[in-house]
Amino acid sequence: MILVTGATGNVGRHAVELLASAGVPVRALTRRPAEFPAGVEVVHGDLTDPASLDDALDGVDSVLLIWPGFAASTAAEVVSAVKRHARRVVYLSANLPPDSTMFHVDVERLVRESGLAWTFLRPGGFATNTLSWIDDVRNSGVVRWVYGDAARSLIHEADIAAVAAHVLTSAGHDGQAYVLSGPEAVTQAEQVRLIGEALGVPARWEEVEPDVVIGELASHWGDPDLVRGAVAAWASFVHEPEQVTDTVERLTGRPARSYAEWARDRVTKV
C-alpha cells in the first residue's frame, strides 16, 4: 500500500491516478472530501495534525510525502509517524542552493536521520506557478511581472508525478536525490507568448519594477525572506538560465513535456 499526501494537489492527484491505473494499492490522504478513481482508498488526515496520521498510515509500506504550503512546523512529528508504519518515503522537495533556509532542507534532514529508506525529488520551477498568467492573458492579453528575460526550465506537474510513480514502484532509488526539470529553458516573456498561442489570442509581457512584485508577493506569501529569495532567483535566471536535466526521460522513458504542452493542457481547465 502506498499513501499519497497532498493527494488533491496538482502533483498528488496525478500520482494517485497513475498508481491506480497501474493496479497499485494506493491510499489518498486529504483534508476534505474529494473524488478519486475507482479502487483508490480515501482517508482523512492533515500533515499539520500529526495525530491524525496513524490510522491513514496503518498497513502502508511507502509514502509519497508532498507538503502543502511554505512551512513545515510539524515535520518532525510527521516523519516520526511515517517511521512507525512505513518502510520508505519519497519526498517531493525542491532544487535549492546549499545555503537555502527553505523548509525542504529541514524535512530532508529529518527523513535522512529517520532510518527510513528515502528518495528525494527536487524539481526546479513548477509550470503551475504561472497559472494566474492564463487569466491575465485571457482577460487583458498582458502579463505584468518582473524579469521577462529570465529563462526557466519549468516542469509539468504530470512529469513530477510520473517520476514519483516510477520511483515508488521500482527498485534502485533508495538514497537518491533526483533533480527534475522541463526539457528546455524558456524565458518568462516567451512563456506568456505560448499561453497566448494556446488560447488563440495575442499576448505580451510588460516589465514591472522588482519592488512592486516583492510587495505583492509578500502580502500573499507572508514571508519576506522567501519572497526576496524568489525574486533574486528570477533575476539570476536572466544571465544564467535555470538548470535543465534529462532525469524525467531517463527514469520514465519518455521526454519531459514542454512548457507549450503544459499551456495547451491547462488553458481549458482555468
39-64 pLDDT, tens digit per residue, is: 999 999 999 999 999 999 999 999 99
Give the chain's end-to-end CA distance (angstroms, integer). 33
Residues 10 and 113 grouped into a single domain: yes
pLDDT at 222: 78
Do 93 and 75 lie in one domain? The reply is yes
Q: What is the pLDDT of residue 20?
A: 97
pLDDT attached to residue 2: 98
Helical spans, DSSP H, in 169-221: 188-199, 210-221
Note whether residue 160 is domain-resident.
no
CATH number, position 135: 3.40.50.720
Task: Say yes or no: 133 and 235 in one domain.
Answer: yes
Q: Is the torsion defined by CA of 96, 245, 263, 210 positive or negative?
A: positive
Q: Are residues 118 and 130 in the same domain?
A: no
Looking at the chain, list the stretches that DSSP marks H as alpha helix, in order from N- to C-terminal side. 10-21, 54-57, 75-85, 103-114, 131-140, 157-168, 188-199, 210-221, 224-239, 247-252, 259-266
Q: DSSP letter at 92?
A: E
How far apart CA 159 and CA 256 sit, in angstroms, is 6
How big is the chain, counted in residues?
270
Is 163 inside any structural domain? no
Does residue 110 belong to any structural domain of this protein? yes
172: DSSP letter: S
Q: Which residues contact 240 (CB under 8 A, 6 or more apart)?
A: none
Does 172 reside within a domain? Answer: no
Domain enclosing residue 235, as ranges: 125-154+181-242+257-270
Low-confidence ranges of the chain (pLDDT < 70): 70, 101
The per-residue pLDDT for range 130-170, each reduced to its tens digit, is: 999 999 999 999 999 999 999 999 999 999 999 999 999 99
SS (H, E, C) 16-58: HHHHHHCCCCEEEEECCCCCCCCCCEEEECECCEHHHCHHHHC
**pLDDT recorded at residue 86:** 97
Q: Kindly state whether residues 111 and 216 are assigned to the same domain.
A: no
> Beta strands 26-30 and 2-4: pairing type?
parallel
Residue 156: its pLDDT value, please? 98
Same-domain check for residues 195 and 95: no
Could you tell me if residue 175 is inside a domain?
no
Residues 93 and 214 in one domain: no
Q: Domain for residue 47, yes or no?
A: yes
Q: Quick one: DSSP state of residue 258?
A: P
* One domain for residues 130 and 89: no
Is 168 inside any structural domain?
Answer: no
138 and 225, same domain (yes or no)? yes
- Answer whether residue 170 is part of any domain: no
Give yes or no: residues 16 and 107 share one domain.
Answer: yes
Same domain, 36 and 48: yes
Q: Cα separations (Å) of 77 from 82, 101, 111?
A: 9, 20, 11
CA distance 198 to 207: 22
Clarify whether residues 83 and 129 are in a common domain.
no
Q: Domain total for the chain?
A: 2
